[in-house]
Structure 1
Amino acid sequence: MDSPKRSWSLSTLPPELIEEILYRAPPESLIRAKPTCKQWYSLITSKRFIYNHLDRSRKRFIRTVGTVQVLDPVTRTRSETPLPKEFQRPYGVRTMVHCDGLLLCTCGYFNYRNTNLAIWNPVLKKITWIKPSTCFTTSDYYGIGYDIKKPRYEYKILRFTDHRYDHNVTYDEDGPEVEVYECKTNSWRTLDTEVDWQVDLSCKGAAVMGNMYWVACNHGEQYILGFDFSVERFKDVCFCPPPAFNNYLACYNGDRLSLLQQDEEEPWDIVVWVTNKLADVDVSFTKYFSVSRPDVPALLDHTDMANPVYFIGKQKRIIAWCEREVFGGDDEIPPTCIIFNEIDEGGVRTHLETERHCRYGYFGTFFCGYVYVPSLVPLPV
């Protein structure tokens, strides 16, 4: 006689085991799983679960050129979805800043003085426009973060301008130089701070532990400029190592910064520096590793191409996404390829073309793409 079959379902597992399984699921799958039952919906939408899941999620690359393209560096799979109608003409996305799966997007085109600002969660497919106190311009820089002494979801936005491109605009006409937007109250506050530095054009900022960081220059010295959202104050974090032709800044290990240096004229040499923990009193860069191999490509092919994006993976590996022209064909305009590179001390480990287009130079975004972590964090406004 056959023994009776045992009935089994995921709901029969202990709650803590179910939660552990759901932590390992991608956020897109969790959205589909929310209607399963009241218990799952309550868990998946709780702030505790959302931020614990975020802290376990891995980095991806994202770009918005015609469509939304997301590349998973681990599986090397690329997904493509339609560009949200809010970001279609005349509101093309120009640059992004990432924090907790939220993308702060500047929208508009380079020949327009006025810029629009939006917060976007690609996973939730939600977008909110931020109204300016006066106006946004092409000389503005932005940051997004939070006060570490308050709930993490009470996000703030920083705006500051160096008037680099507004030669014919006076200070009074342009509005305040530095201001902070409280997402909780939907209001701007002006900070009594004078901008006497210039941010490196290739650095739109790195968010680390609720604060923002940029490569900046003042009186010929390159250094890391930080903004602490808890006290709403800029700070000089540390000097940069002697500069190469190109410097690229990124978050490292969740609580530090990495700086990748590569000379455009001698691209076979790459140096990667990392800081100690940013919460330490004294922060400085230490050389992490270097690559000196003849097969190393220039991450910035030339100055008319979009800037590359990167992060440092395990085992001292550079994970980068960049644009590169392809020569040798019969095309009047050489096609531009989007290349996924993995580079370590032994040289190039992966050189994978993920996309090809036939437009030349800047045709939509200043950067090739952006590093972000997909999340279920709701829009803060």
Structure 2
Amino acid sequence: MASSSKRSWSMSTLPLDLIEEIFYRTPAESLVRAKPTCKEWYALVTSKRFIYYHLDRSPKRFIRTVDTVQILDPVTRTRSDSPIPNAFQEPYEIDTLVYCDGLMLCMCGHWSTFREEERYAHLAIWNPVLRQIRWIKPSKCFTCSDYYGIGYDSKKKCRDGYKILRFSDRRYDHWDFDYDGEPEVEVYEFKTRSWRSLDDAKVDWHVDIACKGVAVRGNMYWRAQKERTYILGFDFSVERFKDVCFSPPSAYDSYLACFDGDRLSLLQQDEESREIVVWVTDKLTDVDVSFTKYFTVSRPDVPALLFCSETAHPVYFIGKHKRIIAWSEGTEGERGTFCVFFTLYEIDESGLRKQTETERDSGHCSCRSFLCGYVYVPSLVPLP
């Protein structure tokens, strides 16, 4: 057949609904590059309906920020690295992240020393895929004793009206200085770019220092303690804290995560036996919520996810078929000469299935980051 009679083929000749289905299966990073191709593709990729449906269908990854922005794909077991944005270079290093809809709420500061001028923190909202960053101005000040959450009114059909929650826990404040009337609890609305104090909300609990908050369906959840350990929630629809349910009693190391999109999971591991117990809640929309034991792993090959008290706490999520996907930090060697390594584990009821070392670094102390990383789904959600 003559070359002139051959029919050329390209995606631009496909029906738009078929292109849309292909795009749903395409990583967000690739869709950013596809946006300028034509007006139809740009309109599709930037539409709110497409953005959130694509987000709900996208697989989980892990993110970590130390020397680079590291995004780890637990399926392909590959890691991509990109430079830390200039906005987060010295003196505003990222200390802690809170995730919601592909948006990262970044608590920034310089924590290597405890000089008085470093008692204040800085806050930013960041979408790593879109490379968008916006600094949030405080009503008074942000401090190293603050906890944060990010969410939206879950009673509305569309996910907009994002808000930030800030509350303070003074247990670890070693500085004797006046906060000059700083609100104990306040909410920031992106629409108005302003903070509102919740005067009737009082902080009478202690948040688990290893739990920086889990976002589920627009609300935030932490492990907290008063008389006993329980799950503390904040509903952005009504702007109220709520006691969700008691946490299973245990002397084990405990870690909280989102499960199945609308529930919580709690992973507990015994330091000595290394036995792992995974609990899950009912749907968080239910009136009565409680934890149920999901499965237990009692095998001799199970690794310690928290290597030692000096290493960062692990990050995990529960995959299909009762499978734990965890990213953990460990160390080797003597103090002063040791190296830090990071391992991706895949564990199920039969024990350790796979493990892959993703990084080894002999140049840095393991305590630079309190948490190993964060569960993260890249998204096209623009900054609110």
Per-residue deviation, residues 211-249 of structure 1 (Å, max 9, x unmatched) = 000000002x00000000000000000001112331100
Shift, 1:166, TM fit: 2.5
User: SS state of the match for residue 307, structure 2?
Assistant: coil
1:8 pairs with 2:13: no
1:222 pairs with 2:229: yes
Out of 146, 149, 161, the position equivalent to 2:152 is 146
1:367 pairs with 2:371: yes
**Corresponding position of 2:45:** 44
Q: Which amino acid aligns with 2:69?
A: V
Q: Which amino acid aligns with 1:60?
A: R
Tell me the distance in 1 between the aligned counterparts of 2:192 and 2:159: 15
**Corresponding position of 1:346:** 350
Tell me the distance in 2 between the aligned counterparts of 1:79 and 1:22: 21
How many residue pairs are counted as aligned between the two chains? 375
Shift, 1:331, TM fit: 8.6
Q: Which amino acid aligns with 2:289?
A: V
Shift, 1:11, TM fit: 2.0
Q: Which amino acid aligns with 2:355?
A: H
Tell me the distance in 2 between the aligned counterparts of 1:265 and 1:139: 32
Shift, 1:265, TM fit: 3.0
1:301 pairs with 2:307: yes
Per-residue deviation, residues 36-92 of structure 1 (Å, max 9, x unmatched) = 111111111111111111111111111011111110011111111111111111111
Tell me the distance in 2 between the aligned counterparts of 1:36 and 1:229: 38
- Structure 2, unmatched stretches of 5+, are none
Q: Which amino acid aligns with 2:59?
A: R
Shift, 1:170, TM fit: 6.9
1:195 pairs with 2:203: yes
Out of 329, 335, 341, the position equivalent to 1:337 is 341
Say if 1:135 and 1:174, in contact at 8 Å, map to a contact too: no
The sequence identity of aligned pairs, in percent, is 67
User: SS state of the match for residue 173, structure 1?
Assistant: coil
Say if 2:245 and 2:290, in contact at 8 Å, map to a contact too: yes
Q: Which amino acid aligns with 1:325?
A: T
**Corresponding position of 2:110:** 109
Shift, 1:167, TM fit: 5.2
Shift, 1:298, TM fit: 1.2
With structure 2 as the length reference, what TM-score do the two structures score?
0.94
Shift, 1:169, TM fit: 4.8
Instruction: Detail structure 1 runs of 4+ shifted over 4 Å in the superposition.
Output: 167-172
Shift, 1:6, TM fit: 2.4
Out of 368, 380, 383, the position equivalent to 1:379 is 383
1:78 pairs with 2:107: no
Structure 1 residues 228 and 332 mapped into 2: Cα distance closer, same or farther (>3 Å)? closer
Say if 1:105 and 1:117, in contact at 8 Å, map to a contact too: yes
More deviation in 316-325 or 295-304? 295-304
User: SS state of the match for residue 164, structure 1?
Assistant: helix
Say if 1:341 and 1:352, in contact at 8 Å, map to a contact too: yes
Say if 2:153 and 2:160, in contact at 8 Å, map to a contact too: no
